[in-house]
Amino acid sequence: MLRAKDPMRMLKISQLASSWASGVCEPEQEMAQPCRCCKMRCWYDVAQAAKMELGHVPGEAGEQEVLATLKVIRACMISECTY
């Protein structure tokens, strides 16, 4: 289970998510709005990683999953999207 108080697991998920670098933005969008595109990558990639880790969409087994996933998304945005 994804827990907000499990920093090592959250770090691993964040690292996995940042390595996917999904193509959420077109190259033109990436050049015009790199911060927005980075944040969108964090959102989609962390949500996908959490879904794979949990075996279901975060939140299906309780609010704590959603809160933990949002914390990982925030951590990704802070570490990956600060230019």
65: helix, coil or strand?
helix
| pLDDT band, very low/low/confident/very high, at 80 (cuts 50, 70, 90) | very high
The domain ranges of the chain are 7-80
Q: Give the model confidence (pLDDT) of 28-78 as tens digits.
A: 998 999 999 999 999 999 999 999 999 999 999 999 999 999 999 999 999
Query: Model pTM?
Result: 0.70
pLDDT tier at 6, thresholds 50, 70, 90: low
20-57 burial: b if 16+ Cβ within 10 Å, else e: eeeebbeeeeeeeeeeebbbbbbbbbbbebbeebbeee
Token pair listed for 59: 């939140």
Give residue 1's pLDDT.
46
